[in-house]
Amino acid sequence: MGADFSRRDFLKAAVLAPLLPSFLAACRRAESGRVVNFFNWSDYIGKDTLPNFTKRTGIQVRYDLFADEEEMFAKLRAGARGYDLVVIGDYLIPRFRALNMIEPIPPGALANMGNLAPRFRHASYDPEEATVPYLWGTTGIAYNRRTLKRKPTSWWDLWDPRYKDRLSMLDNVRDCISVAMQLLNIPETTNSEADFQKVRDLLVRQKPLVKMYSSTSYLNSLVAGEIDLAMTWSGDLFQAAKDNPDLDYALPKEGTYMWVDCLALMRGCRHRQDALRLIDYLLEPKVAADNADFVRYASPNEKAWPFVDPVLRRDPRVYPPKKMMDALMLHHILDPEQTERWNELWADVKVA
Partner 1 sequence: MKALERALSWLLSGRRQTASHALLAPAVLWLLIFLVTPALGLVALSLARNGAYGDVVWSLGLRNYRRAFAPQFAPVLLRTVGFASATTALCLLLGYPLAYFLSFRAGRWRGALIIALMVPFWTSSLVAFYSWMIILGKEGLINAALMRFGFLSSPMGMLYTPFSVLLGLVYFYLPFTVLPLYGSLEKIPRQYVEAAYDLGAPRWAAFREVTLPLSLPGVIAGALLTFIPCLGDFLTAELLGGPRYYLLGNLISNQFLMAQDWPFGAALTSLLLAGMIAGLWLYRRWEPDA
The residues of the shown chain that bind partner 1, judged by CB under 8 A, are 68, 70-71, 73-74, 77, 95, 98-99, 165, 171, 173, 207-208, 210-213, 217, 221, 224-226, 336-337, 339-340, 343-344, 346-348, 350-352
Select 71 or 254, whichever has its Cβ closest to partner 1.
71
Select 48 or 71, whichever has its Cβ closest to partner 1.
71
Closest contact distance (angstroms) between CB of 210 and partner 1 is 5
Select 207 or 314, whichever has its Cβ closest to partner 1.
207
Select 66 or 281, whichever has its Cβ closest to partner 1.
66
Select 92 or 304, whichever has its Cβ closest to partner 1.
92
Closest contact distance (angstroms) between CB of 14 and partner 1 is 13
Closest contact distance (angstroms) between CB of 157 and partner 1 is 18
Select 4 or 337, whichever has its Cβ closest to partner 1.
337
Helix/strand/coil (H, E, C) string of the chain? CHHHCCHHHHHHHHHHCCHHHHHHHHHHHHHHCCEEEEEEECCCCCCCHHHHHHHHHCCEEEEEEECCHHHHHHHHHCCCCCCCEEEEEHHHHHHHHHCCCEECCCCCCCCCHHHECHHHCCCCCCCCCCCEEEEEEEEEEEEEHHHHCCCCCCHHHHHCHHHCCCEEECCCHHHHHHHHHHHCCCCCCCCCHHHHHHHHHHHHHHHHHEEEECCCCHHHHHHHCCCCEEEEEHHHHHHHHCCCCCEEEECCCCCCEEEEEEEEEECCCCCHHHHHHHHHHHCCHHHHHHHHHHHCCECCEHHHHHHCCHHHHHCCCCCCCHHHHHHCECCCCCCHHHHHHHHHHHHHHHHC
Closest contact distance (angstroms) between CB of 181 and partner 1 is 18
Closest contact distance (angstroms) between CB of 74 and partner 1 is 5
Closest contact distance (angstroms) between CB of 141 and partner 1 is 18
